[in-house]
Each structure stands twice: as structure tokens, then as C-alpha cells.
Amino acid sequence: MTDAMADDLMAGLKAKGNNVAATTYVLYRRPSMVSVDHFAYELRSQLRTAAVQGATSIVIASGELCQSVRMGSASMDACCEAMQQEVRSGDTVLRGKEVGVGMTVRYQLPRS
């Protein structure tokens, strides 16, 4: 649905006196900015899934992690921050975020 279509729908709801539905629709239509917590949650989920499948390590690139979170590509800094916060002893930062194109980390599994 385009923004113009959404705006038309909202105007129609308001014209019918249905402000609650219009307000609710706006809340769902325009999500807030993606935070470090969103990326951290997705990252931990990917780490758990790989560990359950028997992997001993997993390489995660920030670009791919960003794409796995809705609206995440707009928040590369938050994504990299979540990845950096998860780095522990034994993990290897293959490409640091200072390079300017995101970062890549090999995380050891299972996590403690």
C-alpha cells in the first residue's frame, strides 16, 4: 500500500467519524525507528538457531542482519552496535565498522 493510498483510507475513516480506527491504523502503518534492541534480539535468535543446528561458529554480516529486521537497513549504526555488544572472547571481528561499509563477525557457538 502506498502512502497516498493509506492517507486516502485514513481520511475516509475520519470522515465517517472513526478516529479510533484511523489512529490505530497510523500506529501500525508508521513503525518507530529500529533500535539496537531489535538488532540484538534478531542476532541472538540467529546465534541460537545456528547452535541448535550444531554449528560451532557463525559468520554474520551487518548488511544481512539489517535486512532481516523490518526497516533495519536504515539503521546500520544501530545494527553494528548490537553486533559489537555481542562480541565475546573467542569471537573474531573480520571487518570492523570503522571501514564504513558495516561489519562482519565470526561468533563462536554455543554462547555462554
- 62 burial level (CB within 10 Å; 0-12, 13-18, 19+): buried
Q: Residues 35-70: pLDDT tens digits?
A: 899 999 999 999 999 999 999 999 999 999 998 887
Q: What confidence score (pLDDT) does residue 57 get?
A: 97
Residue that wins the pLDDT comparison between 25 and 97: 97
What pTM was computed for the model?
Answer: 0.69
For the chain, give every domain's residue range.
Answer: 1-30, 36-108
